[in-house]
Structure 1
Amino acid sequence: MSVDPILQVDGLSAGYGPVPVLREVTLSVPAGTIAAVLGANGAGKTTLLRTLSGLLRPTGGRVLFDGADLRAVRVEGLVRRGLAHVPEGRGIVAELTVDENLRLGGLWRRDRADARLAQDEVYQLFEPLARRRRHAGHQLSGGERQMLALGRALIGRPKLLLLDEPSLGLAPRVTAQIMALLRRLCDSEGLTVLLVEQNVRSALAVADQGVVMSLGRVVMATGAAQLRDDEKLRHAYLGF
């Protein structure tokens, strides 16, 4: 596994209008790893992902992705560079079929043959989607919708996946399956994941690094195993 950071965030600040949310956030994510971003509601976790994916303009700081400064790159440019964002709420097009949603994820790709291959690979990863490929998005279960949102992101063969609350509203079994898949993709494909997750135990079970946020700041960044196994740290930063 490479130890070089594919994502380097230095002093990142952002907010909504005059209201600051992120306050000089600094973190580093090595390639091929999972970094779990943890913290209470309102800590700034979703705002961090929105800023990294270009949906929100930063007011200060710097973001380097794969060695390139992203501050002047448009959202579509970020996607072409290998950054994918799956927002909270899954974000599929409910009126389109599973197959159409997946094809939508690869429309920007010039290599049409590989885009089709990537779609076949998604069906292999998510067998429930293969069985329901002609069904509309609104006909899917919550777990299937999460699989579809994740699969659509993977069509672009991203280097870095920003994933916001993938377990929200899902059964524990489905959550475990998705977390295990993320770990497998990192280990076998070199995918890097920045994971925002309220299910702390599930996140730390698959993550390499735990990044704890509070009131828009990073208050701790350490190995996931250390955070998971150290009762004092868990009580101090995560409340359990």
Structure 2
Amino acid sequence: MTGGDLLTVRGLVAGYGAGPVLHEIDLTVARGTIAAVVGANGAGKTTLLRALSGTLRPVAGQVVLAGEDLRGTPVEQLVRRGVAHVPEGRGVIGELTVDENLRLGGLWRRDRADARRALDEVYQLFEPLARRRRQHGHQLSGGERQMLALGRALVGRPRLLLLDEPSLGLAPRVVAQTMALLRHLRDSTGLTVLLVEQNVRSALSVADQGVVMSLGRVVHTAPAARLRDDDDLRHAYLGF
């Protein structure tokens, strides 16, 4: 399934002004796997994804993607290098149609033929979007907006998907479908996913690796199955 580490983070420090939120974060994500970052509210999970995606400039540390140090790389260049970030709240542009939203994900791509193929693949993957391609983003349900945000990221054919709270506000059935989709993408395309998720049970059910954060630090890393079975750790940091 894997071919070495795709993402390596060393000594990452980041914050928003007065002081750091992230303290010396070290983690690795193997190629073609799903790593779930879990922890209580305020643990620094969203800040981690922002620092990795370039929307928040780290104070110190290294972010290495496939052997390439990404420090100081602008957001648009990170996208070209295969990093896609789907933020919490999904970021769908309500005034644009489904088709227009999806095409935004591939505007930067030079291979126009493959960009069209990627768009067709997203419509095959998300049939409700194909039926609603002329409708505007604000007309979609929460689950459909989640599909659209994911689909827009996938049109760019990323190597690394940074996914922040995909289950937020969704019905349990839609959450289960979303997690099943991530597993399918990992298995069928080799996509590597760093998943931040408050729904710990769902995240660990689909992940290969679990990363537990507390107060801006990584406090434990283990195979997801082992983390699910560690009662002491779950009670201490995950609340169940």
Q: Deviations over 1:137-160 (max 9, x none)?
A: 000000000000000000000000
What residue is the counterpart of 2:31 in the other structure?
Answer: 31
SS in 2 for 1:37: strand
AA in 1 matched with 2:17:
G
Shift in Å, 1:217: 0.2
SS in 1 for 2:138: helix
Match status 1:108 vs 2:139:
no
What residue is the counterpart of 1:168 in the other structure?
Answer: 168
Aligned ranges for residues 80-119 of structure 1 at < 5 Å?
Answer: 80-119=80-119
Output the CA distance in 1 between the equivalents of 2:230 and 2:222. Answer: 11
Q: Deviations over 1:68-113 (max 9, x none)?
A: 0000211111000100000000001100000010111111011111
What residue is the counterpart of 2:149 in the other structure?
Answer: 149
What residue is the counterpart of 2:188 in the other structure?
Answer: 188
SS in 2 for 1:148: helix
Match status 1:14 vs 2:14:
yes
Shift in Å, 1:232: 2.3
AA in 1 matched with 2:179:
M
SS in 2 for 1:35: strand
Output the CA distance in 2 between the equivalents of 1:12 and 1:55. Answer: 14
Output the CA distance in 1 between the equivalents of 2:203 and 2:103. Answer: 29
Shift in Å, 1:239: 1.9
AA in 2 matched with 1:8:
T
Q: Deviations over 1:31-51 (max 9, x none)?
A: 000000001111100000000
Output the CA distance in 2 between the equivalents of 1:3 and 1:36. Answer: 19
AA in 2 matched with 1:157:
R
Name the % identity: 78
AA in 2 matched with 1:216:
G
SS in 2 for 1:84: strand
SS in 2 for 1:124: helix
Shift in Å, 1:230: 2.3
Shift in Å, 1:231: 1.9
SS in 1 for 2:24: strand
What residue is the counterpart of 1:70 in the other structure?
Answer: 70
Output the CA distance in 1 between the equivalents of 2:123 and 2:55. Answer: 29
Shift in Å, 1:3: 4.5
The number of residue pairs the alignment matches comes to 240
SS in 2 for 1:195: strand
TM-score, with structure 1 as normaliser: 0.98
Output the CA distance in 2 between the equivalents of 1:215 and 1:230. Answer: 20
Output the CA distance in 1 between the equivalents of 2:126 and 2:210. Answer: 27
SS in 1 for 2:205: helix
AA in 2 matched with 1:55:
T
4+ long deviations beyond 6 Å: none
What residue is the counterpart of 1:47 in the other structure?
Answer: 47
Unaligned runs of 5+ in 1: none
What residue is the counterpart of 1:121 in the other structure?
Answer: 121
Shift in Å, 1:233: 2.3
AA in 1 matched with 2:93:
V
